[in-house]
Structure 1
């Protein structure tokens, strides 16, 4: 049975690669990103193996602890990505729990994340390669650490299933997951690009982490190298004891989950009509109210909005001097403006109400633009004004504001056209925002790339003026950027809504047919 589960896992991985050429491209891009992080980690461990001895005892503990902790936490916030984590799928099979536990544990290592974690574990375990006993202890500790990561991941996910299975909990956790996931790459890159680390600063913290289940296995090789066998035994006891505990927790949680599968919760009662009570009873007002409701309650929109405040943090991590922070306004403008390019796809089967309703296409376009603009306009203004002032670059406020407003309005206009022509598979309501839908077509990727290229060309005048104005400090060029950005942005917005509305009236039934084929 264990071998059968492993074969099923391998078959699932192989089937995923055969679904779509673009899914394969996405997997390759993700693998390249992961491999870059892995390469930096391995190179760091190699450099550490010939470096300061105190750092050799501290850094592996902290890096290994972060890796194990990520395995325990990420599956909770990315619920639904790996269907093998759901005990309900095995409820009707007469499989012994021991075989099921062993099979699922080994299956966790199969795939890109498992393989990368295994490589990272053994690279951490071989830091003390010049000391034979420490090297042997490191290899054993790497196996224990990898087992702690995988088994702990299964234990936390299975035990938390009754809570995480609730839709609202999954939505909140997915939104909170954006920050660490987006910051992981920049933080690792910055750490490996010359940031000096003092062993005196890391030492006390690593000693504390070494007595946790996350850091205990990685501290054993350093203890052996130092000849402190008592400390090594204590850390080994913590690591093995933790592994035994999470295995028992997983076994008990799996036994309960097989007998009591999680069920979808009923939606609670709500009073009033929300935004439909506050906006005018017109076609544009109705579409705007529905879209604002989605922005507030749909996790797919909430996740896109949650990325916006993370953008300045990423820019600050990449450039600690703060110069890149003035780009926060244009980045927010692009993210919030282009977000409505997937509006029709996110409607799903509910898009039939737009097709059958006696409303003009321009009313549909204006409703979506006003909803996104109600969120995007104040955010873009706040970022464009606040961050230049925060970084003591007051002269950049006007040109950055002009470029950001032009980019936001232009993006809303072009996205209004793109979404009237192309829809593609997206996550359905209640699914994990990290889950990938099957059937992504060449047209979907082409439409996004084509739309971005059109947006780049349309917004080039104000962007170029803004760059020159910021570089030279010219007040006149700054004012020109603001005028050009607003004028061109309004022009492209009006044209996009008008042309996109006409296209939607023609293509509405075809778009609905495609959407229904995806579900």
Structure 2
């Protein structure tokens, strides 16, 4: 008899012995195969596994759990306030009014959220990844339904079902109101209301499942998954900032509302013919007598569900096969030189090259670099719309400030890799100068571009130069404080790709130092620039030059003092950060 093979534990920490000759016996069912020859259902096992992993992740990632709980409270609040408003709208709207497009828009937003969810949360891989079940000897079709049922253990799905239920209640009110006036359309709408809403919910549930399974068949690296997460978050920020800009535009000019409503109705009319909005348009189509349109949209919803189901099954089968094949067919990665071409092959050049690779490849750095331009664009846009340069000036300060915040725990980000610096004998001053230089490689060009754009948009004149020199001084000062903080107050950082946060007790002091002490060397310059508004622009130029000089001095002092600290205490510093959190 073949020996049992024990696979590696899943993320939840559970493991099971499986026989190579047959399917896995479920707990409590004994080791013998069923008398009818059928393999036992995996649904109870996967539901228990999903629940266990969910609870363990909630305990391990406390900050993410608190954030999720706050998100759930916001969603419940939106349902509590938006639900009655939507039902009230249905009780007063007329046929052909704004209620039908509103229902389509709400449903489409729900589907769109589930479409974007895999990109936004891809940093945490699916707890029920298909590859982890390859050794069970089951086909994709055997796993599909149990995985679907297990995936329903999710607050997001419950909230989605509640939102669709509220939408259904509002549509019911609308249909009942016109039951006497349009009995055929209202009755047919009531009959097909529940199936259409269930179709919309099914699309919401199947979309992320199919996308996750498909992505598991693509031999993508952690870097590409993190990049997808970053792009998803940026898209979310762009949407939020765009909504804020539109709201401000409406506040400035109420006449803009008519234009926005006109184009919104056109867009929703198109969305109603796509899988995003088709299921939610069916009841109102029937009420309004558009039976042909309702039939076509039923077909769109049905075909979408069938395609997603089959796509998911096909991806499951492929993922199970690839997991057993391993990485033998993986492509070899291109290896590039560590030292950039514009630098000599010295310890400084090697340190710069290492930092550049980290900035580009490590999501803990690249996420901040990707989000920063979006924040700046939003602030500048708000400033232009209000015709007030203060927000744009603050955007410049944020870019300068981030130069130091990006590297204030650079030693901790290296984690166990710090032994390389100790063994190689690289001087602390050299490695800190390289880290500071890489941070400024991003900040300085960004400051020049932002200042030039602001100067043109707000016609700052001579104050554009003052703003640039002052911001450069802040960037230099922040970078100096940042490298000094990294050397004197290092703390363990989250591992690459992890969503876990650092311990507040370890992180609050260096964070506070890096955020606040940056401004202390700038106080004399800030006083002169402030006085220039009363005594003349020449004081602003003097203050800007002083800011640049003080920033350079702070940078030099931070590198020198931090370098001495590392040279004297490298082993102790490395010991503090030798293990990543998570």
TM-score (norm 1): 0.85
2:521 aligned with 1:455: no
Which position in structure 2 is the counterpart of 1:289? 353
Matches within 5 A, 1:349-428: 349-394=416-461, 396-420=463-487, 421-428=489-496
- Measured after TM superposition, the shift of residue 250 of structure 1 is 0.4
Residue 61 of structure 1 contacts residue 219 of structure 1 at CA under 8 Å; is this kept in 2?
yes
Deviations 1:399-425 (A, max 9, x none): 432442232112211211222222323
| 2:552 alignment partner, SS class | helix
Structure 2 vs 1, CA of residues 440 and 263 (structure 1 numbering), >3 Å: closer, same or farther? farther
Deviations 1:436-477 (A, max 9, x none): 1477453024432443233355556656766786x8795245
Unaligned stretches of 5+ in structure 2?
Answer: 1-41, 177-185, 251-256
- Measured after TM superposition, the shift of residue 277 of structure 1 is 4.1
- Measured after TM superposition, the shift of residue 95 of structure 1 is 5.3
Residue 403 of structure 1 contacts residue 466 of structure 1 at CA under 8 Å; is this kept in 2?
no
2:373 aligned with 1:309: yes
Structure 2 vs 1, CA of residues 55 and 164 (structure 1 numbering), >3 Å: closer, same or farther? farther
Number of residue equivalences: 509
Greater Cα offset, 242-251 or 221-230? 221-230
| 1:58 alignment partner, SS class | helix
Greater Cα offset, 340-349 or 116-125? 116-125
Matches within 5 A, 1:253-332: 253-261=315-323, 265-270=330-335, 273=337, 275-316=339-380, 320-321=385-386, 323=388, 324-332=391-399
Candidates 422, 437, 443, aligned match of 2:506:
443
Residue 87 of structure 1 contacts residue 158 of structure 1 at CA under 8 Å; is this kept in 2?
yes
2:286 aligned with 1:213: no
Deviations 1:124-153 (A, max 9, x none): 444435324667865654433232122111
2:556 aligned with 1:491: no
Which position in structure 1 is the counterpart of 2:266? 204
Which position in structure 2 is the counterpart of 1:6? 47
Greater Cα offset, 138-147 or 37-46? 37-46
2:119 aligned with 1:55: no
| 2:276 alignment partner, SS class | coil
Counterpart Cα distance in 2 of 1:92 and 1:34 = 36
Deviations 1:255-314 (A, max 9, x none): 22112228564442346x363443134333331232223334445433332222212233
Counterpart Cα distance in 1 of 2:528 and 2:168 = 53
Counterpart Cα distance in 1 of 2:360 and 2:190 = 53
Counterpart Cα distance in 2 of 1:508 and 1:105 = 51
Greater Cα offset, 451-460 or 339-348? 451-460
Which position in structure 2 is the counterpart of 1:249? 311
Candidates 140, 149, 166, aligned match of 2:204:
149
Which position in structure 2 is the counterpart of 1:81? 124
Residue 213 of structure 2 contacts residue 312 of structure 2 at CA under 8 Å; is this kept in 1?
yes
Counterpart Cα distance in 1 of 2:226 and 2:62 = 27
- Measured after TM superposition, the shift of residue 90 of structure 1 is 1.3
Residue 168 of structure 2 contacts residue 197 of structure 2 at CA under 8 Å; is this kept in 1?
yes
Residue 116 of structure 2 contacts residue 232 of structure 2 at CA under 8 Å; is this kept in 1?
no
Unaligned stretches of 5+ in structure 1?
Answer: none
Residue 465 of structure 1 contacts residue 478 of structure 1 at CA under 8 Å; is this kept in 2?
yes
With a CA cutoff of 8 Å and minimum separation of 6, indicate the structure with the bigger relative contact order. Answer: 1
Structure 2 vs 1, CA of residues 159 and 472 (structure 1 numbering), >3 Å: closer, same or farther? farther
| 2:127 alignment partner, SS class | helix
Structure 2 vs 1, CA of residues 30 and 411 (structure 1 numbering), >3 Å: closer, same or farther? farther
Counterpart Cα distance in 2 of 1:223 and 1:400 = 58
2:56 aligned with 1:15: yes
Greater Cα offset, 107-116 or 337-346? 107-116
Structure 2 vs 1, CA of residues 443 and 458 (structure 1 numbering), >3 Å: closer, same or farther? farther
2:112 aligned with 1:69: yes
- Measured after TM superposition, the shift of residue 109 of structure 1 is 4.2
2:404 aligned with 1:337: yes
Structure 2 vs 1, CA of residues 356 and 483 (structure 1 numbering), >3 Å: closer, same or farther? same
Deviations 1:381-405 (A, max 9, x none): 2212322322334454244324422
Residue 86 of structure 1 contacts residue 158 of structure 1 at CA under 8 Å; is this kept in 2?
yes
Residue 245 of structure 2 contacts residue 382 of structure 2 at CA under 8 Å; is this kept in 1?
yes
- Measured after TM superposition, the shift of residue 155 of structure 1 is 0.6
TM-score (norm 2): 0.76
| 2:494 alignment partner, SS class | coil
- Measured after TM superposition, the shift of residue 154 of structure 1 is 0.9
Counterpart Cα distance in 1 of 2:540 and 2:450 = 17
Greater Cα offset, 358-367 or 296-305? 296-305
Residue 122 of structure 1 contacts residue 139 of structure 1 at CA under 8 Å; is this kept in 2?
no
Residue 63 of structure 2 contacts residue 501 of structure 2 at CA under 8 Å; is this kept in 1?
no
Deviations 1:68-103 (A, max 9, x none): 233224414643413325211111235564563234
Greater Cα offset, 348-357 or 178-187? 178-187
Deviations 1:193-250 (A, max 9, x none): 7843654322232122112111112222432443434433332221122112101110
Counterpart Cα distance in 2 of 1:375 and 1:321 = 29
